[in-house]
Structure 1
Amino acid sequence: MRILNIIAQKPMSTGSGIYLTELVRVMAEQGHTQGVVAGVYKEDVVNLPDSAKFYPVYYNSPELPFNIFGMSDEMPYESSRYCDMTRDMEEKFKKAFLTVIERAVEEIKPDIILCHHLYLLTSLVRERYPRTKVYGFCHNTDIRQMGKHNLERDYIIENVRKLDRIFAPQKAQADEVVKAYGVEEDKITLVGIGYNQSIFNAVGRTEEKSVKRLLFTGKVAEKKGVMSLLRCLNKLDIPEDKLELTLVGGAGNEEEYGIIKELAKNCKYKVEFTGRLTPLQVADRYRSSDIFVLPSFFDAIPLVVIEALACGMKVVVTTLPGVPEFFANNAPEANIRYVKLPTLVNMDEPVKEELPEFEARLAKAIAESINDESKANADCVSKLSWENILKKVLE
């Protein structure tokens, strides 16, 4: 088939970017002709298969004289927020992307267009190409944008409803799509999420018996629960030289990052900040760590949890909507402990007064995982693959 993939932000950062990149990789392996339109900076290095033609849309350029608009308000790179988009910025955004997309469509002549995020750019594509098959992927952050402000709300809803099909990771997101956009249920296909089994596996796994190693991977930010994670560790009754934490990922914003650094200084256990790492480096960290902790306040199915399980780690994660059900159905043997979320306002902001109790629950789950002497089963997620997702999409 001839396929055009479109995303308004970087294709090599954050969960949705990795999702696109992995699908492109599998499509290339299967011999499909494809192009990729994505928003990047001129200095970015984009790793896509040689057979996939890349059509960059450059931010911080004369055409787009501002930072990338990120689907999260805080991205692991310099970014703008959709809630701050002015009419002038919107017009420049539309013109820059549609100019590049029109060239890509003319050259690729796609049978289908795959758009990531049920938001502004996907709506533009649907409107511009009414006779082409246009499918949209929900990545959860699009639903959050719809719930937090009113940028082009009616326009987005109208065009998302006109998509030929919508792919959602699981039923919890499908239900939210129905509620947010008024889409008919039978227009949504649940596709789950996959992982790259050639990178994330337990081959060569090592464990330090005398020290328990905790690992967090993601945006180092408050909404990912990092502040609560650092505070909760001081509640643990474990000798200071028997536990350490590694935080892998870029900063959400500099002010928050400074607070997190200060919390790390005041933590009684060793805390390492690695910054962003390559997938191969992340996999090595998984294989040399014991417990993966993701105390996030908002997420779909976190890919990092699947990757950590594939590398033989135990997991502690919050009760994100639909996540316990997803793993119960798709990885019933996974060694996962769930921590009940605090009450949230504005979709992803915890009620401050409930944080102490939440952090006590988090500390308890971590302690239970540390004291659990059973081995994690790295094969528990083996049926989750990008190949299976692509099969569902193309069907």
Structure 2
Amino acid sequence: MKILSVTAQKPNSTGSGVYLTELMKEFEKLGHKQAIVAGISMGEEISLPFEASVYPVQFMSKDLPFPVCGMSDEMPYTSTRYKDMTREMVFQFKSIFLRELKRAMDEFCPDLIFCHHLYLLTAIVREAFPEKKIYGFCHNTDLRQMQSHPLGREFIKSQIKKLDGIYVLREEQIELVEEIYEAERKKISVVGMGYNADVFFDQKKRVSGKRKKILFAGKITQKKGVVSLLRAMHLMKEKNVELELAGGSGNAKEYQEILSLGRGENITFLGKLNQMQMADAYNQSDIFVLPSFYEGIPLTVIEAMACGNRVVMTDLPGVQKWINQNIENPNIDYVKMPKMYSIDEPDQEALPKFEEELAKVLDRAVGSDRIKATDLSRVSWRGVAQKVLGGCKNDEFKTN
């Protein structure tokens, strides 16, 4: 079978990019031929660890003279926010992506098309190729875009509900997809998340008796809870700890403000790391912390547990339920979410209490040496890929 994967973003640079790439790896192992249409910056290349036909859409070029569009307002690279796009920019975006998509259709002739994010590009693909089998993946940031601003909202809704099927990561997203896109429930299937067990595993590197190390990985932004984390570090009673933060940021001003707040001998910013470097970072840490205010299913939490970390994270809606259903003995301590001003913006007045609670939970995690044996056997990319392809063959979607 020939499978075409489509994303408006750079593959490999975000959680959804990792999701796309890992699925493509599994499709290759299952014997399928593949191609990809993806957005990149002028002068960059799409590098994949497997064979695939590549159809790049180059931003910062004559035909598309602005940075790659990002599904989050803060991306780990310079990007364009969808809410800032003009009609001319949308026209250019549509025209150049359609040019590469039509080339892929003519040269590759896909049997199945998988579009990542239930947003503008997926709607364009559905409208342009009504005769093709097209399925969309919800990565949560698409829901946030639809709820945050009106760009193309009615057009997107009209096309997303015409998809042959929609894949979501967890059950709680089903009702949101139904509500936001007016999609039929029978078209929506829960496929979950996987992780790369060949890279992320416990290497038994930790040395007892040393200073405890806390690790954060993700975009260095306020919406990921980084500012609150740095404040919580100063509130902790346990001082024999150090914090490392891995990740980049697309907002240079915010990043510099966070760097200033994080100055201290026990706080280190590692920058953006590749998968092998991240595996080493997990294995050299004792606790992984994710104080984010908005997530789908955070892949970093699964990777951290696979590497033997205890996890401290915000009690994000629906995430604890998914983890308890799919992971046996998860080593996670949850922090109650603060009152939210909007879908991904906390009420500033609620943050001091949240930060105090985060500090208390981190103190407890640092003081606990008991680590249960976490069983991640039910969380695999092979399992996700088989669910995805099984849903396409059946064309009859179920919610469990």
TM bucket by the smaller chain? over 0.9
Q: Which residue of 1 aligns with 2:358?
A: 362
Q: Secondary structure at the match of 2:343?
A: coil
Q: Which residue of 2 aligns with 1:259?
A: 257
| Distance in 1 separating the partners of 2:51 and 2:232 | 47
How big is the shift at 1:206?
A: 2.4
Letter in 1 for 2:112: I
| Distance in 2 separating the partners of 1:308 and 1:45 | 29
TM-score calculated relative to the size of structure 1: 0.96
Alignment of 1:109-258 (within 5 A): 109-239=109-239, 242-258=240-256
Letter in 2 for 1:157: K
> In the TM superposition, what whole-angstrom CA distance separates every residue of 1:241-262 from its partner, at most 9, and x where no partner exists?
x210000000241111111111
Q: Which residue of 2 aligns with 1:102?
A: 102
Asked if structure 1 preserves the Cα contact closer than 8 Å seen for 2:79 and 2:250, the reply is: no
Letter in 1 for 2:115: C
TM-score calculated relative to the size of structure 2: 0.95
| Distance in 1 separating the partners of 2:42 and 2:81 | 20
Q: Secondary structure at the match of 2:198?
A: coil
Q: Which residue of 1 aligns with 2:327?
A: 331
| Distance in 1 separating the partners of 2:58 and 2:386 | 32
> In the TM superposition, what whole-angstrom CA distance separates every residue of 1:182-238 from its partner, at most 9, and x where no partner exists?
112121100000011110111343235321000000000000000000001111112
How big is the shift at 1:45?
A: 4.4
Alignment of 1:291-330 (within 5 A): 291-330=287-326
Q: Which residue of 2 aligns with 1:341?
A: 337
> In the TM superposition, what whole-angstrom CA distance separates every residue of 1:346-375 from its partner, at most 9, and x where no partner exists?
310010000000001111111111111202
How big is the shift at 1:380?
A: 2.0
| Distance in 1 separating the partners of 2:215 and 2:100 | 40
Asked if structure 1 preserves the Cα contact closer than 8 Å seen for 2:59 and 2:68, the reply is: yes
| Distance in 2 separating the partners of 1:302 and 1:47 | 24
Which one of the candidate residues 369, 372, 388 is aligned to 1:373?
A: 369
| Residues 6, 222 of structure 1: alpha-carbon distance in 2 compared, 3 angstrom cutoff | same
Asked if structure 1 preserves the Cα contact closer than 8 Å seen for 2:59 and 2:65, the reply is: yes
Letter in 2 for 1:108: F
Asked if structure 1 preserves the Cα contact closer than 8 Å seen for 2:206 and 2:286, the reply is: no
Which one of the candidate residues 384, 387, 395 is aligned to 2:379?
A: 384
Letter in 1 for 2:377: S
Q: Secondary structure at the match of 1:222?
A: coil
Asked if structure 1 preserves the Cα contact closer than 8 Å seen for 2:78 and 2:250, the reply is: no
Asked if structure 1 preserves the Cα contact closer than 8 Å seen for 2:216 and 2:290, the reply is: yes
Asked if structure 2 preserves the Cα contact closer than 8 Å seen for 1:26 and 1:386, the reply is: yes
> Which moved further from structure 2: 202-211 or 98-107?
202-211
| Distance in 2 separating the partners of 1:43 and 1:200 | 31
Asked if structure 2 preserves the Cα contact closer than 8 Å seen for 1:247 and 1:274, the reply is: yes
Asked if structure 2 preserves the Cα contact closer than 8 Å seen for 1:12 and 1:46, the reply is: no
Asked if structure 1 preserves the Cα contact closer than 8 Å seen for 2:46 and 2:56, the reply is: no
1:89 and 2:92 aligned: no
How big is the shift at 1:332?
A: 3.2
Structure 2 alignment gaps of length 5 or more: 391-400
RMSD of aligned residue pairs (Cα, Å): 1.2
Letter in 2 for 1:370: V
Alignment of 1:39-50 (within 5 A): 39-50=39-50
Q: Secondary structure at the match of 2:337?
A: coil
> In the TM superposition, what whole-angstrom CA distance separates every residue of 1:318-365 from its partner, at most 9, and x where no partner exists?
111110101111113011011111111231001000000000111111
Letter in 1 for 2:381: W
Letter in 1 for 2:313: V
Asked if structure 2 preserves the Cα contact closer than 8 Å seen for 1:293 and 1:316, the reply is: yes
Q: Which residue of 1 aligns with 2:17?
A: 17
| Residues 44, 381 of structure 1: alpha-carbon distance in 2 compared, 3 angstrom cutoff | farther
| Distance in 1 separating the partners of 2:209 and 2:93 | 53
1:393 and 2:388 aligned: yes
| Distance in 2 separating the partners of 1:226 and 1:283 | 21
Structure 1 alignment gaps of length 5 or more: none
| Distance in 1 separating the partners of 2:223 and 2:348 | 12
> Which moved further from structure 2: 136-145 or 244-253?
244-253
How big is the shift at 1:376?
A: 4.4
Q: Secondary structure at the match of 1:206?
A: coil
Asked if structure 2 preserves the Cα contact closer than 8 Å seen for 1:167 and 1:188, the reply is: yes
| Residues 4, 363 of structure 1: alpha-carbon distance in 2 compared, 3 angstrom cutoff | same
| Distance in 2 separating the partners of 1:309 and 1:357 | 27
Q: Which residue of 2 aligns with 1:276?
A: 272
> In the TM superposition, what whole-angstrom CA distance separates every residue of 1:278-337 from its partner, at most 9, and x where no partner exists?
100000110110000000000000001011011110001111111010111111301101
Letter in 2 for 1:222: Q
| Distance in 2 separating the partners of 1:217 and 1:374 | 23
How big is the shift at 1:178?
A: 1.2
- Number of residue pairs aligned between Structure 1 and Structure 2: 390
Q: Which residue of 1 aligns with 2:395?
A: none
| Distance in 2 separating the partners of 1:152 and 1:196 | 36
Asked if structure 1 preserves the Cα contact closer than 8 Å seen for 2:5 and 2:113, the reply is: yes
Asked if structure 2 preserves the Cα contact closer than 8 Å seen for 1:147 and 1:346, the reply is: no
Letter in 1 for 2:293: F
Asked if structure 1 preserves the Cα contact closer than 8 Å seen for 2:315 and 2:337, the reply is: yes
What percentage of residue pairs aligned between the two structures are identical? 47
Q: Secondary structure at the match of 1:224?
A: coil
